[in-house]
Every structure is written in structure tokens, then in C-alpha cells.
Amino acid sequence: MSAPTTLAIETRDLSKTYRLGFWMNKRVLALQNLNLSIEPGQVYGLLGPNGAGKSTTIKILMNLVQATSGTATLFGHPPNSKEARRNVGFLPENPAPYEYLTGEEFVRLAGQLVGLSGKELDARVKEVLGSVGMSRTAGLQIRRYSKGMVQRIGLAQAIVGRPKLLILDEPTSGLDPVGRREIRDLILQERERGTTVLFCTHIIPDVEALCTRVAVLVNGRLAREGSVQELLTTQVPEVELTVEGMAADAVRGLGHPIEQMQDLHNRLLLRAKDAHVQPLLQSVLAAGGRVTKIQPTRFSLEDLFLQAMSEARHGTVGGEIAS
Ligand SMILES: Nc1ncnc2c1ncn2[C@@H]1O[C@H](COP(=O)(O)OP(=O)(O)OP(=O)(O)O)[C@@H](O)[C@H]1O
């Protein structure tokens, strides 16, 4: 029997309450009993609206914030241990590298900090500057860099030590489409190399392009978790119908469950669950309406995200100020 693989990241009942106010008597429940199991080699996306607890999770994993309760481990080691730190490359949300260093000096420093030296360091610095597209501008001081260049040099310092795990807080935020594509390609390269990547973002197309698995956090709680494929296929299929010759009220009056209806003046766009389509169709035709188009709808990650948020709105817990 083979030994179980050590998880790259594991959190158990991880919670964080921030204390606020002069008397520290206000509490923000930023994270509530978060359980994550991230296998080595996965590219794992942490999705969620503003204030969902994504950065708090990452900061706990990077030992920048202490959890209030629960545990977190990186390759089986607690975040404050040398063993955990040795294996991780990190890009914070707003990287603030030393501005008076050149890009190359900064990446070299990061390489030295992870134990590289001599020819190996020279070669690796050159290699990563090339792979983030900064070879030509690496001699400029960082204070001269654009946001995109800072982001790329930040990524270069994160990967210079060939970490087994990359943790990236909003790696493509604020970048133009070309910059975003380049950072995405770099993450894909790291995935090819077998690096485990955890990144958080609001940008759903990035998640669709990169992730093997995702977690959706809302109000500090895990609202959805699974492979992108799994999450999308477990949704009940829906069908979109285009109806002409009937008013919206008349269609509603037929009494069938309809998920969404859009009135485009000369036609109606209806969205109904697969199981309800046949009776709806028959009633529309019997009432004199014309059905000009029927098509299955593809449930997107964005739909899933919005659904998770609307469910959470009815049972808010985290990210709220409690007394
Ligand atoms: N240092 C802090 N002190 C007090 N409250 C904090 C602190 N850091 C975060 N919070 C609160 O904790 C909650 C979660 O914040 P967090 O930054 O983890 O969310 P996020 O999902 O990363 O949001 P965003 O997408 O906006 O970066 C929010 O309500 C936030 O205001």
C-alpha cells in the first residue's frame, strides 16, 4: 500500500477574527472554519467578492497573520516553520519591492535569500528575468517601473528559488490584457513544472483558464469547492427559449416555474430548468405564442459565483462587524 501524499496546503477549521476600535471591542469575523485540502501539482483558485477572506487566508498561510483558531499546514508543516517557508514563493497583493534597487538586484537578493549563489544564482536570475519578459528592463530602478513591471518582477522573485508552492494574491489585478496574458502564461509554465499554485482573484476568466480546482469564499465561509468541471456539471441544466407573440405577464400567467425572463419588446427570453421546459413549451404554443429558438444554456463559473453570493446574502456571517 502506498503512503498517502502530503497535502501541499491543508487548513482545518481555520478562523480569524480581527478586533477593531479604540477598546478593541468590535470584531470582524473574517474567516469561519475554513477547510481546504490542496494536493501537490494543483492550480487552485480562491474566488470571492471583496472582503470574503481571501487575503486573510493567504496571510495566515504566509505567517503574516495569526489564525484565531484552527490549523494550517504547508506540506505538513506549520506556516511559521523553516520547512514550510523553504518551499514557498509568494507574491503579495501590492508588492512593495525596494524601489532604489534595479529589478535585477531585487531578484538577485531574493535568490540569495533562498540560498542560491555563484554561477547558479547568475544563471537563475537571467532565466527568470527572461521568463517574466524583463531582460531588457532589469537594469532600471524599480521606482521607474509601471504597475505591470512591478508585478512581473514580483513574480520573478517568487519563482527564483524554484519553490514547490507558489502563493499569489491577485497576480493579474491592475494589468492590461497583454500583461494579464503574460502572467497567465507564466502560471501555466509553473503548472507544467509541477509547482502547486494557490492564487486568489476576482477575475473569473483567469480561473477558467488556469485552475484545476476552485474554492468560492463568501463572508469568510466556504460557499463552493471542487474541480471547475465538477462544479459546473452538478448544476441542474437550464434551457433558454425565445418566445414571440406573447406579453411577459401572459407567460407568467401560465403558472410554470421560470428562472429568468427578459422582455426585449418584440420577443421574450425565458430561462427554465430542463424538467420544466416541455410543459412550458406546450402552454406557450396553446396560448398562441411562437417559440422561435430553444437552446441549452451553458452554466458558467460566473453564474456559480453569483449564485453563491446570492445564497450567502440570506445568511451573512463573516466579514461582518459583530459586537
Ligand atoms: N487588519 C485588519 N483589521 C481589521 N479588519 C480586517 C483586517 N484585514 C482584513 N479585515 C477585514 O476582514 C474581512 C476579510 O478581508 P480580506 O482582506 O481577507 O478579504 P478579501 O477577500 O481578500 O477582499 P479583497 O478582494 O477586497 O482583497 C474584511 O471584512 C476586511 O475588512
ipTM of the complex: 0.97
Cα 22–Cα 25–Cα 29 angle in degrees, nearest 5 = 120
* 115-141 residue pLDDT tens: 899 999 999 999 999 988 899 999 999
Looking from the CA of residue 202, the nearest atom of ligand 1 is 25
* 158-174 residue pLDDT tens: 999 999 999 999 988 77
CATH number for the domain running over 236-296: 3.30.70.980
pLDDT at position 319 over 80: no
Write the CA distances from 166 to 9, 53, 61, 163, 226, integer angstroms.
11, 19, 11, 7, 20
Domain ranges of the chain: 9-232, 236-296
Q: Which CATH superfamily is domain 9-232 in?
A: P-loop containing nucleotide triphosphate hydrolases (3.40.50.300)
* 4-32 residue pLDDT tens: 679 999 999 999 999 887 777 788 899 99
* 277-316 residue pLDDT tens: 999 999 999 999 999 999 887 777 787 788 777 776 665 4
Is the Cβ atom of 65 under 6 angstroms away from ligand 1?
A: no
- What phi, psi does 149 have (nearest 5°)? -70, -40
Looking from the CA of residue 19, the nearest atom of ligand 1 is 4
The three-state secondary structure class of 278 is helix
pTM (2 d.p.):
0.81
**Whose Cα sits closest to atom 16 in ligand 1?**
53
Give the pLDDT band of residue 318 (cuts 50, 70, 90).
Answer: very low
